[in-house]
A = this chain, B = another copy of it.
Amino acid sequence: MPRIAYFGPSGTFTEMALARFESAGAFEGQVERVAAPSQGAALDLIRAGEVEGAVVPIESSVEGSIAATLDSLALGARLQIVAETELEVTFSILARPGTERADVRLLAAYPVAAGQVREWVARELPDAAYYTSTSNAAAAEDVQAGKADAAVSTVLAGERLGLATLAAGVADHDQAVTRFVLVTAPRTAPPATGADRTSVVLELTNEPGSLMRAFAEFSTRGIDLTRIESRPTRTGMGAYRFYLDCVGHIDDSAVAEALKALHRSAPRIRYLGSWPAFAKPGAPPPPDTDAALWLSQLRKGVADR
């Protein structure tokens, strides 16, 4: 029975994403779910050999990339993303039975969630201060434990803990979506499907043009970059690490060539995996078949046009 970590505790959106991966047949047989207190902790369980995989959130359509996940993927031993799913994110406002909206003075929330309901809270719970919970499910636990009056949490957490729902479907922005990834130890990537995503982390020299040259390795090969995220390396103002997602698979020769070119020119590159995209991510890179056949014929000396 594979052990799979997730950013817990039980009741988080991440656990819901793990359930999605299970229904989609990502694992053989029944899975043992292992809750971890943070994204980094979930990934470290793979590095420690205690689980075979981990599910973590990586990007929100509202808040952008999840920094804790990116930083943990960039540092420590290399791990590999092998699958993704996306969930529409709306929150339940949970409280102990008997609590009214007007009673809410302290509202437990995971900061990412707080960022997605701020307008609703300012309007509907104007007297509420925020208590920082470590996840959406932990916010519900914090309410059950009496640390706060209400929680920005999930349907699943409310059901598990028997809390009352003050409001459901809460979200400042329509179509707030979060992407979750399934991460494992390094392995051969799942086969290319024609609608794949490949992700790398780059550190570049501090010369003018180095970033532009790195991007050109993709664009000149007809590869579409779908995400560009810069994060400070924490080694001083102005030093960045870049997280790049492109359309395509490491077995697509255009992508393989771009990776090799970056390996030659960038001080540091880490490959985070190639996997099937949840939704069609854009046009795939141009196929190599004809050109490779032509090249191999030239090398053999076959007469051609």
Contact = CB atoms under 8 A, between A and B. Distances in A.
B223 A220 contact: no
A3 interface: no
A290 B305 contact: no
A235 to B, nearest CB: 8
Q: How many copies does the complex hold?
A: 4
A208 B223 contact: yes
Contact of A282 (B208, B229, B260): B208
Given A189-B299, A221-B261, A234 B62 contact: yes
A226 interface: yes
Does more than half of chain A's interface fall in helix, strand or loop, or is it mixed?
A: mixed
Interface stretch (A12-20, A26-34, A249-257): A249-257
Residue among A230, A257, A283, A300 having the largest count of chain B Cβ atoms under 10 Å:
A257
Contacts of A188: 299-301
Contact of A130 (B132, B209, B217, B228): B132
A216 interface: yes
Nearest to A281: B238
Interface string A218-237: 11111111111111101011
Residue among A142, A250, A261 having the largest count of chain B Cβ atoms under 10 Å:
A261
Nearest to A173: B234
A292 B260 CA distance: 7
A212 interface: yes
Interface of A: 59-64, 67, 77-78, 80, 86, 106, 109, 111, 114, 129-132, 142, 147, 173, 175, 177, 179, 185-189, 208-209, 211-213, 215-232, 234, 236-238, 240, 242, 250-251, 253, 256-257, 259-261, 263-264, 268, 270-271, 282-283, 286, 288, 290-292, 294-295, 298-305
28 contacts: A59-B237, A61-B234, A63-B232, A64-B67, A64-B230, A64-B231, A111-B132, A131-B132, A179-B237, A185-B301, A186-B304, A188-B300, A189-B299, A208-B219, A212-B218, A215-B215, A216-B220, A217-B220, A230-B230, A251-B299, A259-B298, A260-B291, A260-B292, A263-B295, A264-B290, A264-B291, A270-B305, A271-B298
